[in-house]
Amino acid sequence: MKVKILYIVLATFVVIYVLTLTAMLKRNDIEILLSSRRLVLSDPKLHEEDLRHLEILQELNEVEKKIAKEDGNIIDDQQPQEVVVAPLLKGELRLNNQGGIEIRGEKPEPKTCKAERNVVFLKTHKTGSSTVINVFQRYSDHHNLEMVLPKLPTHLFKWPNKFNHSFVFEYKDGDRFNLLANHARFHKENMAAMMTRPSLTKFVTILREPLFQLESMFSYFKFHKPLKTSEENGLWEFFSTTESDRTQLVRNLKTMKAGVVKHLLKNPSTFDLGFDQWSEYPANVSHVIKTMDQDFSLVMISEYMLESMVLLKDELCWDLQDVVYFTLNKRPNKFRKDVGPKRETVRHWSRIDYAMYDHFNRTFWRKIEQKGESFQRDLEKLKDMIQDLEEKCLDKGDHVDETQSWFEIEGYKIREEARGTDYYELCKRLTRSEIDYTMILGEKQSRDGFKMHGKTRERYES
């Protein structure tokens, strides 16, 4: 008899508990205190779509379990556990400075657009494009999209050949994809033909101030060797010759592996974008700019990466969380050379690239001006988010990217403290090199069971 009463009392408690919890979860402003960790959820309805994608509901189950545990007075002696959070920050999920996760109730601005999943990012050389490709790789990974990948284990679409489908990993007739971002030389029609909706494909690229780009190129590809200049002052010496001598020199160069030298020493972005880098009549230059204006819905500017990412997010109707980034593939500053006094020489030498850069830097800032206040708000938010994540993820100190043995590139080491946390996966994705991520996506997408094991990667080595 006593046992029966106990059961009834217990069952009543459970029913009341479940009802209370349900009521709580439906309320607009819910604050659940989990020891020192706070999970603040305001108006979950606003995030319905995100919630679905992000399995936040699963987290709520976790929360329920924990509440049940507290309700039953089972108190952990250990540190309170963190609420499980989706691998990518989404919606208004934020890390707070106690290491907890907050879902902020700040209303996201209602979207009048639909997230683009039909996008080509044309990678240009030495423009910060490795940082941008990580955003695309992560987006593809997170949403389980199909990315056009180069035939692995390479990470390039047979650059310097213009893109065609014969360079695509496991391509079968009729295959359609969502994103393309690995290094390729631009060919609009062939690229669009790979996408789910060819005629609606969005094209995006990035440019960098041409002198800085060339300086970076020179040291990364060790151009002093084929050009027989000194290592110390190679670029300076190269630009101290007359333009006709320089033209002869470059035109007569043998093409190294991957055709690097010839194509990247003059108007390299013009070349990457599929044009003839030696056709420099004014008519040719205006043709390049006009064509690009038509083909690309956004040209990012690498000097303004933060602004570029906000524009990217707007252009693709993605979320700010999607464009969080750590700068990847960066040289240590000790390699940087001052070549400022040669700017006018370079301006003449790479005049198509300069005309392109000047034009798209102008349209870039015009776009920002038109966006007004919301842009500035996004900019601040993105900056904060990156800073938060840097503090969460990154070990302070100098580290080297070991996927690129032929050149010293700054790398990241994830803090030991991040291991085992909910944001560890995000830290890993944010710091993953382009080459590694390409292989990982290949393994994930492969129908034929592709595995990297034992394969060597193709790289730019002379």
Ligand X SMILES: *[C@@H]1O[C@H](CO)[C@@H](O)[C@H](O)[C@H]1NC(C)=O
Q: Which CB, 284 or 446, lies closer to ligand X?
A: 284
- Say whether residue 307 binds ligand X (CB under 6 A): no
| Closer residue to ligand X in complex, CB, 143/187 | 187
Select from 43-51, 119-127, 283-291, 376-384 the region that touches ligand X (CB under 6 A).
Answer: 283-291
Distance of alpha carbon 273 from the chain centroid = 20
Asked if 161 touches ligand X (CB under 6 A), the answer is yes
Under rule CB under 6 A, residue 459 binds ligand X: no
Cβ proximity to ligand X: between 281 and 453 the closer is: 281
> Is 291 a binder of ligand X (CB under 6 A)?
no
Residue list 165-204, contact with ligand X (CB under 6 A): 166
Return the residues of window 201-220 that contact ligand X according to CB under 6 A.
209
| DSSP secondary structure code for residue 113 in this structure | S
Distance in Å, CB of 183 to ligand X, minimum: 15
279 forms part of the interface with ligand X (CB under 6 A): yes
Secondary structure element (H or E) that encloses residue 264, with its range? helix 260-264
Question: Whose CA is closest to 177, among 134, 259, 121, 117?
Answer: 117
What are the Cα distances from residue 137, in Å, to 145, 171, 316, 434, 437? 9, 19, 15, 8, 7
Please count the residues of this chain forming the interface with ligand X, following the rule CB under 6 A. 13
By the 8 A CB rule, do 404 and 433 touch?
Answer: yes
Please tell me whether residue 86 adopts helix, strand or coil conformation: coil
E strands, 288-343, in order: 298-301
What residues form DSSP beta bridges with 177?
195
Instruction: Pick the closest to residue 312 from 179, 177, 427 (CA basis).
Output: 179
Which one, 222 or 287, has the nearer CB to ligand X? 287
Least distance to ligand X from the beta carbon of 63, Å?
Answer: 48
Give Cα 410 distance to the centre of its chain.
17
Q: Establish if 287 lies at the interface with ligand X (CB under 6 A).
A: yes
Structure-token pair, residue 356: 């392109």
- Closest approach of Cβ 325 to ligand X, in Å? 20
Beta-carbon contacts of 43 under 8 Å, excluding residues fewer than 6 positions away, are: 28, 29, 105, 107
- Among 247, 284, 363, 446, which residue interacts with ligand X (rule: CB under 6 A)? 284
Query: By C-alpha distance, which of 182, 213, 178, 217 is closest to 194?
Result: 178
Q: Which two tokens stand for residue 188?
A: 């609009």
Q: Which of 55, 62, 82, 303 binds ligand X (CB under 6 A)?
A: 303
Which one-letter DSSP state was computed for residue 94?
E
> Binding string, 227-266, against ligand X, x = CB under 6 A?
----------------------------------------
* Binding-site member from 77, 283, 396, 398 for ligand X (CB under 6 A): 283
Does residue 365 bind ligand X (CB under 6 A)?
A: yes
Please tell me whether residue 363 binds ligand X under the rule CB under 6 A: no
Contact residues: ligand X, CB under 6 A: 161, 164, 166, 209, 276, 279, 281, 283-284, 287, 303, 361, 365
